Amino acid sequence: MTPLIALVGDTPAPTPVFYGTQVPVHELTTYLRAGKTIEGFLEDFPVVKRQQVEQFLTAAEALVVAAADALSTKPIMQLADYEHLNPEALQSMPDDELWKIVEDRPASMDETLLQAASPSAQESTLQETDREARASLLKAYHHFVLIRSQALLLLKQRGYNLEARLHENN
């Protein structure tokens, strides 16, 4: 099966494009948000095939459905809910609380990652307030990753088989 999307450009912020083209995926979403049609998009970007657009829209729909399912089955936590925790405080936490941290995926994490990956996230185009908001979200995300990593380390030190436990939850 041919890949749907390729990443081009500089890391750490490469641009997702339709595979085999240089057409950024965000061009399609910009087109659709503006009320334009898929046919118009295909006329303006003839290197993109209808099948690619349909596969992209199907994949996007599947992601939205999966996210909705995940949110409906887990309590919604926010990244801010972890700000009060520090790695040392985890030492005294019971195992079940540590597992909650490890298995949690805060609702705003997806928003943070989407914001960081969006075309408007290019530093040169952001307004100062947007830069500050992005920096704050990324700081909260990095803190969550630190807390989650520390919880994993503690569980491993307490003798848990992390690979088996995490695999059974996926």
What is the pLDDT at residue 18? 92
What is the pLDDT at residue 105? 67
- Higher per-residue pLDDT: 2 or 32: 32
Cα(66)–Cα(113) distance, integer angstroms: 16
Cα(46)–Cα(54) distance, integer angstroms: 15
What is the pLDDT at residue 117? 44
> Is residue 90 over pLDDT 60?
yes
Residue 169 pLDDT level (bands cut at 50, 70, 90): low
Pairing of strands 5-8, 15-18: antiparallel
* Averaged pLDDT of the chain: 78
Nearest residue to 74 via CA among 29, 112, 41, 107: 107
Q: What is the pLDDT of residues 3-44, one digit of tens each?
A: 888 888 876 778 889 999 999 999 998 898 899 999 999 999
Helix (H, G, I), strand (E, B) or coil at 67: helix
Cα(23)–Cα(17) distance, integer angstroms: 5
Q: Which residues pair with 8 in a beta bridge?
A: 15
Helix (H, G, I), strand (E, B) or coil at 8: strand
